[in-house]
Amino acid sequence: MEISSPDFEHNGLMPVKFSCQGEGVNPALIIKNIPKAAESLALIVDDPDAPLKPYIHWVVYDIPVVSRLEENSAPGTLGVNTSGDIEYVSPCPPTGTHRYFFKIYALDSMLNLGDGLNKQELEKAMQGHILDKAELIGLFKKK
């Protein structure tokens, strides 16, 4: 499985548009080579360079099996980020360049657990259901 974005290269700088200094929307994501047995997708976006390690920016699960997640969209059931909100939090590093990991998982079922799982709860719920996974890293530094 592969994940990419039409907006930035793997290990490349993310455009300001997707940060706290821009529109703060999530970038579009393209998913390829999803296993045929996949029933749903899950996405975790985190920043391991944040002072609160890792800072969870986005948790989404029970995403229908699609090859593209559109910009500024919440394609499935939303989980809780580090701020305690159920939404995408755009990159806004306090200092330096941070790495933002977009991790996509192909699952053999829908989880059907309702809104509000945090990263750890989602990872526990996915155990035994992950068919494949892929990762995209975007970089961002405030101007």
> What pLDDT score does 112 carry?
94
Query: What pLDDT does 143 receive?
Result: 87
pLDDT band at 63 (very low <50, low <70, confident <90, very high): very high
Q: What is the pTM of this model?
A: 0.96
d(C-alpha 30, C-alpha 79), whole Å: 21
Alpha helices in the chain (DSSP H): 119-126
Q: Which tokens hold the place of 124?
A: 């526990």
| CATH level 3 topology of 2-140 | Phosphatidylethanolamine-binding Protein (3.90.280)
For range 107-136, the mean pLDDT = 96
Dist CA 33 CA 19 (whole Å):
29
Average pLDDT in the 77-101 region? 95
Q: What is the pLDDT of residue 134?
A: 98
φ, ψ at 2 (rounded to 5°): -135, 145
Whether the Cβ atoms of residue 89 and residue 82 lie closer than 8 Å to each other? yes
Give domain limits for the chain.
2-140
